[in-house]
Structures are given as C-alpha cells and as structure tokens.
Amino acid sequence: MSFSVNFPLFLIVLSLISSVVSSLLPRRAARVTALTLYALSFAGNLTLFLYLRTLSGPVNYLMGHFPHPWGNELILNPVEAAFSALFSLVLFLCILGGHHPLEEKIAPNKQHFYYVMTDLVQASLLVLVYTNDLFTGYVFIEICTLSSCGILMIRENGRTILASIRYMIFSLIGSGLFLFGVIFLYNLTGHLLMPDLKESLTALYVSGEYHLPLLAAMSLICIGLAIKSGLCPFHLWMADTYGAAIPASSAILSGLISKGYIFFLIKVILSVFGKYIFYANGLHNVLYVLGAAGIVIGSVSALQEDNIFRMIAYSSAAQIGYIYMGIGLSATVGMEAALFQILTHAMTKPALFLAVAHLSRSANNVKKFHNLQGAAFKNPFAGFAFTFGAFSMIGLPFTMGFISKYLFGLGAFDSTHTKLVPTLIVLAISTILNTLYFARTVIRLYNKPAEDIYRRTGLFSQKSYVLAGIAFIFINLFFGIFARSFIAVLAAGLPQF
C-alpha cells in the first residue's frame, strides 16, 4: 500500500507520455489510450486515497533528490487524492459520453489531436491538485490554458474561433496576473515552495514589513485565478465558450478545468497565504461579494437566454459564484461547502451538457429553446438525465445539490453576523431562479411536440452515452445519500493543507 505514494508521479508522467504518443496514433487508438489512462488514474488515485486515510498527516513526495526549500515537491493528502480520483472519473465519463458528437464535428485529420489535448488536461489537473510548488502550478496552468483553447477551437467554425480568441485573452490575462503575484511573493521571500512561503509570509506579516506588496501579491493571485475560473465580473467569456464548443469540450471546460483552477486557488489560500493572513486582510470579503453577485447575475442571465447551451453556461457562472461565496464565508465550514460544491458542479454540469447535446442531436441539432419542444420524447434517456441533473442543480434531497446548499446554510451560520442574512437571502433567490429556468426547460422538453411521428433514439444506439449518464446519476445519488462520510473526509483533510 505504501507504494501507492508513487502513483501521482507515475500518472503525471504517463499522462504526458500518452499525450505525446497520441499525437502519432490514429483516432480510435488515441481514444482508447485516453480512456485507459483516465481509468488508471481513477484507480490509482483511489488506492492512494485509501492509503492516505490511514495516515495522520500529509506525505511530502520529492520530485528529485532535494527536499523542500530547494527542489520540486508534491504533497499528498486524502482530500487531494479524492479530488483527483473524481476529476479523472469525470474526464473519463465526458470522453465516453461525448465522443460521438465530437467525431462528427472535427475534421478527420485532426481528431486524434483532441485526445492529445485531453491527456494534457489530465496531466495538468493532477499537478494542480498535487503540487507543493507555486511555480510548478504556474507552468501547468499554462499547459491547462493552451490545451483548453485547443479543445475549444478544434471545431473550426467562425463562432468557435471567436469564442476561443475571447477565452484565450481572458485566460492569458488571468495567467499574467497570477505570474505577477508569484514574482512578487518570490521577491518578498525568496521561496517558491508552499510550506516555506507560508512560513516566511507569516513572519513578514507579523513584522508588518512590506505590507502593501504582500497584499498586492495576494490579490493578484486571487484575481488571476478568479478570471480564469469565471467569477462574476469576469464571467463574460463563459456563455460564448461553453455555448460554441463541442459538447464534450464544454463539459470538460466547465466541469474540470475551471474547477482545477479553483482547487488550486483554495490550496494557495490555505497552504501559501495561510488562513490567518488571508482572512485577516478582508480579501475573502471581496470574493464573497463577487461570488454572491455572480450567483444572482448568472441566474438572471440564464433566465433570459434562449439558447439552451448558453443557458447552462450562465448557470455555471452562478454555480462558480457559490464556490467563491463559500471561500468567503469561513475557513472551516465555508471551505468545506466550497469543496463540496466543486464536486457537485463537476459531477452535474458535464452530465447536463452531455444530455443537452444528445437531446439537440436527436432533434436535428437545434440549439434554440423553442425548437427543443418534446425533445425528451425523441431521446428518453437524455431527457431523464437532463431532468435528474436539473434536480441536482436546484437542490432536491438525495442529490448532491441538496448537500452543498445545506452546507452553505451551515457555513452562513458559522460565519460573521453580517454575512448570515445576505447568504441566506442569496441562497433563497438563487434556488428560486434555478428552479424557474430549469423547470421551464424540463417542461418544454416534456411537452408533446407538434408532429406526432418522430424517430426515437433508443438506448442501444447510444450505448456509451447511456453508460456515462447512468454513471453520473449513480455517483450523484451516492454522494447525495452518503454525504456524511465524505464531509468527514473533507473536515479531516482540510487542516492538512
């Protein structure tokens, strides 16, 4: 079992190798390689999780012969292992359920490049989750940015190219600000490894020296990662990006890549800035306000949208607002709620994107809301999966959405008095708005279409999607019903950051 601490290294290197090899393989072989890799990554990280749970503290894994002020390092703790296992699982299911529409829309000589890019996404997600080094994080943020632009623009039509230019500009501004922040921190302390940075930043903060640069560095890092993950005033790239991309890409971009950045931000907050400095400077209040604004603005924009893909994209903006609101609430219960919400969103949004993609495919590739009338009769399974995803987004009991809303409620009571009432009001408003736009869509989907004769897409003509959809539903129910043990893992793992 103790050998499993080597798995992250092997999986990262394996992802990089398989991305390089996939660029020479034909499409089908590249897909099989990718799926095998994600399955292996899930299994490996799960084994590691089971091993790490038996330990009392995190494991520092040296990347080379030099320990932490000098050489690169990974840090392994149960929360990280659980998240990377689940991220790999979602990536597996996205590719499994989304590869049919994907291969219809990409030029045949470029299809294998898609899997090159998703392998790189896998590598960078693993590193972002496990790294103990701020600069390694930056390098793999770059890989993540480039590969997410790749999976976006591989569908070469005008709208997608424009969307990816916009996404790239936003993303690069985000990386640039993050890099500024890292440089400032290095200049102030001379360290890049997280534990040493935390130590010297705490000393610096206590001594009161260089207060302004310290604050500037922290806010630049937060803003940079917030832009990349689409917090409220910077969420404008989302609708275009998720609306124009291939469904599998929208699922990966919304479910995994933005979550990877947010997980990395949480990690930076806890293990570089430290709870004390971050929450003493009032930066969390900024994230709280922006998050709460994002929830309301995202939901209202989703309500106004008549393109179903863009509607779900705006709903993503609202869900990301929840995560930032959780970070802003408190370092304990609020942070747990934020982490659980990351998981909820990573499990639900890809399922919704894939379901909508298959619904629209059964109804002659329409995207407009009013053309989708009765689409659930044409593709019953996708209709069911969409309805279930919508229930989870609204937060009905036994789904993950319920648990995360419950945790946000707890977090509100755990935080200061000034935040209690606004949080509860925002939760209520957003639940109502969520219900409005999802109920509207579900009713539209289950309205009998005007024509009586339609071709029904059966279960067996879309086997891989049905498998992925069932898996998404089961995982959702599993975490919705047995949430208590997972929350216990989060609560035990958070102090280890």
Please, which residue, 93 or 129, has the CB nearer to other proteins? 129
* Interface with other proteins in residues 111-130 (CB under 8 A): 113, 116-117, 120, 123, 127
CB of 489 to other proteins, least distance (A): 25
Residue 64 binds other proteins, judged by CB under 8 A: yes
List the one residue out of 94, 116, 64 whose CA is nearest residue 347. 94
Contact 90, 121 (CB under 8 A): no
Say how far apart CA 220 and CA 223 lie, in whole Å: 5
CB of 231 to other proteins, least distance (A): 17
Question: Binder to other proteins among 45, 79, 93, 133 (CB under 8 A)?
Answer: 133
Residue 6 binds other proteins, judged by CB under 8 A: yes
List the one residue out of 343, 358, 334, 213 whose CA is nearest residue 279. 334
Question: Binder to other proteins among 35, 93, 95, 143 (CB under 8 A)?
Answer: 143
**Token pair listed for 286:** 């900024």
Count the residues in the chain. 497
> What is the pattern of x (binds other proteins, CB under 8 A) and - over residues 209-238?
-x-xx--x----------------------
Mutual orientation of helices 463-481 and 483-493 as an angle, nearest 10°?
70
Residue 169 binds other proteins, judged by CB under 8 A: no
> What is the pattern of x (binds other proteins, CB under 8 A) and - over residues 188-207?
xxxxx---x---x-------
Residue 254 binds other proteins, judged by CB under 8 A: no
Residue 304 binds other proteins, judged by CB under 8 A: no
Question: Binder to other proteins among 34, 128, 153, 244 (CB under 8 A)?
Answer: 153
Residue 179 binds other proteins, judged by CB under 8 A: no
Residue 20 binds other proteins, judged by CB under 8 A: yes
Classified as helix, coil or strand, 458 is coil
**Token pair listed for 134:** 């701020």
Burial state string for 365-404 with b = 16 or more CB within 10 A and e = fewer than 16: ebbebebbbbbbbbbebbbebbbbbbbbbbbeeebbbbbb
Residue 307 binds other proteins, judged by CB under 8 A: no
Say how far apart CA 144 and CA 123 lie, in whole Å: 9
Say how far apart CA 173 and CA 409 lie, in whole Å: 34
CB of 85 to other proteins, least distance (A): 20
Please, which residue, 117 or 232, has the CB nearer to other proteins? 117
Question: Binder to other proteins among 26, 36, 70, 233 (CB under 8 A)?
Answer: 70
* Cα–Cα separations (whole angstroms), residue 15 to 12, 28, 39, 88: 5, 17, 12, 11
Mutual orientation of helices 283-304 and 211-229 as an angle, nearest 10°?
20
Rule CB under 8 A: which residues touch other proteins?
Answer: 5-6, 9-10, 13, 16-17, 19-21, 23-24, 61-66, 69-72, 107, 109-110, 113, 116-117, 120, 123, 127, 133, 135-136, 139-140, 142-143, 146-147, 149-150, 153-154, 156-158, 161-162, 180, 184, 186-192, 196, 200, 210, 212-213, 216, 370
